[in-house]
Amino acid sequence: MKRIIVAVVALFSATLCCSAQQRHNATYPDDPAYHQLQEGERGEVIKIKDFRSEKYFPGTVRDVFVYIPRQYTGEKPACLLVGLDGILMNATTALDWMIANNEVPVMIGVFITPGRILDGDKVIRYNRSNEWDTMSDRLANFIEDEILPLAKSQTPSDGRKILISGDANDRAIYGASSGAIAAFTAAWFRPDLYNRVYSGVGTYIAFRGGNEYPALVRKSEPKPIRIFLQDGKYDTWNPSFGDWYEQNLLMESALDFAGYEMTYKWDRGGHSITHGTNLFPDAMRWLWKGWPERIRGGKSGNSYVQSIIDPQKKWIELAAVSQGASLTALPGAKVTLQEGSTASVLDKDGKLLEKIHLKRGENIIGAAFDGTPLKSSSIPVKEAVKALVGDNGRMFVADAQGNIWNVEGKDKTVVGQCAGSTVDIAVYPDWSILAQGQSGTNWVRSYVCDGRNLSYGQDFYFLHSQGGRMAFDTAGLMYAATPTGVQICDQNGRVRVIMSTPSLKIDDIALSGNFIWIISAGKLWVREILHEGYVPCQKVQTPKSEGEG
């Protein structure tokens, strides 16, 4: 344990520009939470040495510590506190006192050191930045799938069984430096697992994309996260990564704008855990205040979010679907759900309106001019992935090779091409613009649509991650299915809104009426929105222009 503490101190000390910047406040109130209880009143800590990850970080080993408070009975699931970089900030001492004095609920602590790959005693690769700084759901999934089962398999000295609540409202996560951004990332990508975050001297910088968080927070539908930020005004400045304190200020500003329940404390210190350690008990009290009352998303200051999303209208699960299922929007708040050789026409409530049996290799790829499902076999384009059919019968068809065809009866002409394969195409409500999603890129291509011809194709809509299937609403906003939610672009091609989804990966999307459908994690979901989806066979509509922007 002593070796771990020394290593952590060295880790934070090494990032300082100079010792003169260490200007922490001279005195702090004496917090009773740091008065160590008598030995028989303290919780138990179980150490698991050199746990080897098999799935998410293969080959890495790390130490894991499981804290079980005296007040835990083993009869019902306890709340959870996850700590990164081991037992930082004298956490177990503070928890002993606060749990005993009913200042926080009874909770199990699970503390994790970052992974390393070893050859004997020699470190071949340090994995800390890869694990802590990466912006994805990988770390949260690693903790959920590998670390927590390990923790729950342990047996305290008195034989109590370790039970941990699966409710995100009963869970908190904390860390310092890269551990702080890791804690926020775990909650950001998996708010279904963590609703409470303590971030100390967080590195919201350009290590692995963390500098993008302020923008993403401003654009995203607010998530049910309560967050306590701490930093020092003399935190590190680095010529490659910028001003670390400034990035914390930007995070505070973005979270405030987006309506999060958030507080912050700055002192005059540098990149160390001195201030964060002194604040730890108060941070825990604030994060857990009012528990078990639920934490909810706030009201965003983003006018686009307000105009599109009604926070009272949540995603509704309609059905489990098979792998490879796809959606096609139909007029009148309806969709076609295709699973293999069967297609079902469904309404917004998931009610079956019609069953369609398809031939081998046949797919539903659009809505015909009369609003009925359009089969791929009815058009003369091989490997067609999407067809746009106007109310006057004009038709554009995309194939898997990246070609866009103009189709008139049995005649067809290539009118647009991209280097990669086509993911999807969608058309602006007045048919003046055709958008083409491309595999392997964050860009969506835009063509000027002149009658039955396409011209001036250029990469135009820029997404924060690679895009998938697309649709327009009647206001001329483009919706793209991405691994970080439904990204919604304005008329000038900029993401303005990121709509949260039940799980991150979205396989398909459709808009019709005031409803949006998605296929995600093997399920079909629907949600009511404040805008109206545009189905190409509907009457041409001219959205109000947003100007140059």
CATH fold of 304-533 reads: Neuraminidase (2.120.10)
Please write down the HEC assignment for all residues of 472-487. EECCCCEEEEECCEEE
Amino acid 129 reads S
Rounded distance between C-alpha atoms, residue 87 and residue 110, angstroms: 9
pLDDT at 26: 55
Q: What is the pTM of this model?
A: 0.93
Task: Provide CB contacts within 8 A for 102, sequence distance 6+.
Answer: none
Tokens read off for 364: 């539903």
Q: Which residue is associated with the tokens 């019609």?
A: 354
Please write down the HEC assignment for all residues of 224-284. CCEEEEEEECCCCEECCCEEHHHHHHHHHHHHHHCCCEEEEEEECCCCCCHHHHHHHHHHH
Q: Which residues in 44-53 are b (16+ Cβ under 10 Å) and which e? A: beeebeebeb
Q: What is the pLDDT tens value at each position of the chain, 549 positions in all?
A: 444 443 444 445 444 334 444 567 656 778 999 999 999 999 999 999 999 999 999 999 999 999 999 999 999 999 999 999 999 999 999 999 999 999 999 999 999 999 999 999 999 999 999 999 999 999 999 999 999 999 999 999 999 999 999 999 999 999 999 999 999 999 999 999 999 999 999 999 999 999 999 999 999 999 999 999 999 999 999 888 889 999 999 999 999 999 999 999 999 999 999 999 999 999 999 999 999 999 999 999 999 999 999 999 999 999 999 999 999 999 999 999 999 999 999 999 999 999 999 999 999 999 999 999 999 999 999 999 999 999 887 999 999 899 999 999 889 999 998 877 889 999 999 999 999 998 889 999 999 998 889 999 999 999 999 988 999 999 999 999 998 899 999 999 999 999 999 988 899 999 999 999 999 999 999 999 999 999 999 999 999 999 998
Q: Which helix (H) or strand (E) holds 99?
A: helix 91-100
Q: Which residue is associated with the tokens 């408070």?
A: 69
Nearest alpha carbon to residue 33 among 292, 284, 289:
284
Cα distances (Å, whole numbers) of residue 203 to 178, 190, 229, 246, 264: 5, 19, 11, 10, 15
Amino acid 437 reads G
Nearest alpha carbon to residue 480 among 506, 449, 513, 514:
506
Q: Which residue is associated with the tokens 């007029």?
A: 331
How close are the terminal C-alpha atoms of the chain, in Å?
Answer: 56
Residue 40 burial class via C-beta count within 10 angstroms: exposed 0-12, middle 13-18, buried 19 and up = exposed
Q: Where in the chain is the domain with CATH 3.40.50.1820?
A: 2-301
Helix (H, G, I), strand (E, B) or coil at 37: coil
Tokens read off for 361: 């290799």
- Please give the CATH architecture assigned to the domain spanning 2-301: 3-Layer(aba) Sandwich (3.40)
Q: Where in the chain is the domain with CATH 2.120.10.30?
A: 304-533
Q: What is the DSSP letter of 489?
A: E
**Dihedral angle of Cα 154, 158, 160, 161, to the nearest 10 degrees:** 20
Q: Which residues in 109-126 are b (16+ Cβ under 10 Å) and which e? A: bbbbbbbbbeeeeeeeee
Q: Which residue is associated with the tokens 């009012």?
A: 290
Nearest alpha carbon to residue 451 among 394, 410, 404:
394
Rounded distance between C-alpha atoms, residue 257 and residue 514, angstroms: 27
Q: Which helix (H) or strand (E) holds 451?
A: none
Residue 133 burial class via C-beta count within 10 angstroms: exposed 0-12, middle 13-18, buried 19 and up = buried
pLDDT at 10: 42
Pairing assessment for the beta strands 261-267 and 523-533 based on DSSP bridges = unpaired
Rounded distance between C-alpha atoms, residue 202 and residue 250, angstroms: 12
Tokens read off for 152: 């729950």
Bond preceding residue 29 cis, omega within 30 of 0: no
